[in-house]
Amino acid sequence: MFTGPLRALIDELGRLPGIGPKSAQRIAFHILKVPTEDAHRLSDAIVAVKERTTLCERCFNVAEGGALCAICSDDQRDGTILCVVEDPRDIVAVERTAQFVGRYHVLGGALNPLEGVGPEQLKVRELLARIDDGQVKEVIVCTNPNLEGEATAMYVSRLLTPLGVVVSKLASGLPVGGDLEYADELTLGRALEGRRTIEA
Ligand SMILES: [Zn+2]
């Protein structure tokens, strides 16, 4: 129905998560209508995020303009306690609770054999390497409260407990099947405070 640049824009927008063909069309026509400066701001932001943002080489959080993220570069953070999350967005959720002073490790997902996600697809080896340094005493596994998140928490605890690390997980109270990033800070803060050691 559409050709040329408009078709290309609709196609690209349609590849984005949560954007169906109708929304892609609606957004494309919106961009067509806005002032050129606004469209440039959008395209500049997309290019900038690709050029200037990387993943932290230690914890795989988002890092801006350096090898390490802001949390890994912060000397005030407690290096003996590590919060393991699935996604950098979960770090934002935990930080909002203002209850965690340690550092993070982003796995990059959760175990999901049906979708071909095994330990090799996650930053598990990198996590083990960090534990090997001997500084970390406790690991809190803050994976999502769903099947994959639970399986991942269990897997991590089986790996780490024999290494002499206390592995705990969030207390129940979070909506089951939900996403950590949508949890309100009060509920998540309580779950963090009431964390329980995983019996591996
Ligand atoms: Zn980092």
Give the tens place of pLDDT for each residue, 106-157.
999 999 989 899 999 999 999 999 998 889 999 999 998 888 998 999 999 9
Q: From residue 146, how far is each of 63, 112, 131, 142, 174 by CA, in Å?
A: 28, 11, 26, 11, 10
% pLDDT > 90, the chain? 72
Rounded to the nearest whole angstrom, what is the distance from the C-alpha of residue 165 to the centroid of ligand 1? 20
pLDDT for 63 equals 95
Q: Round the CA-based radius of gyration of the chain to a whole number and report it.
A: 20
Rounded to the nearest whole angstrom, what is the distance from the C-alpha of residue 8 to the centroid of ligand 1? 36
**CB of 108 within 8 A of CB of 123?**
yes
Rounded to the nearest whole angstrom, what is the distance from the C-alpha of residue 139 to the centroid of ligand 1? 15
pTM score, whole prediction: 0.80
Cα–Cα distance measured from residue 189 to residue 97, given in angstroms and rounded to the nearest whole number: 5
Cα–Cα distance measured from residue 105 to residue 122, given in angstroms and rounded to the nearest whole number: 11
Task: State yes or no: pLDDT of 194 exceeds 90.
Answer: no
Rounded to the nearest whole angstrom, what is the distance from the C-alpha of residue 192 to the centroid of ligand 1? 20
Rounded to the nearest whole angstrom, what is the distance from the C-alpha of residue 23 to the centroid of ligand 1? 35
Task: State yes or no: pLDDT of 199 exceeds 90.
Answer: no
Rounded to the nearest whole angstrom, what is the distance from the C-alpha of residue 182 to the centroid of ligand 1? 22
pLDDT for 200 equals 60
pLDDT for 196 equals 85
Rounded to the nearest whole angstrom, what is the distance from the C-alpha of residue 3 to the centroid of ligand 1? 44
Cα–Cα distance measured from residue 32 to residue 70, given in angstroms and rounded to the nearest whole number: 37
Residue pLDDT, tens place only, 16-68: 999 999 999 999 999 999 999 999 999 999 999 999 999 999 999 999 988 99
Rounded to the nearest whole angstrom, what is the distance from the C-alpha of residue 118 to the centroid of ligand 1? 23
The single-letter code of the amino acid at 99 is: Q
Give the helix/strand (H/E) hosting 3.
none
Rounded to the nearest whole angstrom, what is the distance from the C-alpha of residue 63 to the centroid of ligand 1? 7
Residue pLDDT, tens place only, 92-116: 999 999 989 999 999 999 999 898 9
Compute the residue count for the chain.
200
**CB of 151 within 8 A of CB of 61?**
no
Q: From residue 198, how far is each of 1, 21, 151, 168 by CA, in Å?
A: 56, 44, 12, 5
Number of H-type helices and E-type strands within the chain: 7, 7
